[in-house]
Structure 1
Amino acid sequence: MRDSGVQPGIISFATILSACSQFTALEQGREIHSYISNHKLESSEVIMGALLDMYAKCGAVEEARHVFYRL
């Protein structure tokens, strides 16, 4: 999407994070989280819920806890 100049939205990120959680792709999920943070999208409850789910399903308990407390 970035290569074609399209800015992904909240639903796109939630879907990508869901895919990361299903495939336990923690490193890719962290990269997406970094992008989300850099673009100030963490205020969305949808995004934060998807991040929490992804970290929990990938076994990153401390990161999941950090996201949970930010909710």
Structure 2
Amino acid sequence: MFLVDTNIFQGKIEDPEVNLTYLMKLTFPYPPRPQLGVQLNKNDLDEWIKNREKKEFIAKNPYIPSSSS
């Protein structure tokens, strides 16, 4: 089961509940809109897209959603 939660910054993988047919539950984070004064600018996005650090899996700006395949 795949879910998108628009109010969280960190996703999670959960075991299935008893008597349900899915094998696991994946919740993908999609953070809420930034408050006024907090900006997500083009430079933040460009830096994240160009990032090639092997151990950096999550963007430094919490308003850039993280997911993987």
Fold-level similarity (TM above 0.5):
no
TM-score (norm 2): 0.29
Which has the larger share of strand? 2
Larger radius of gyration: 2
TM-score (norm 1): 0.29
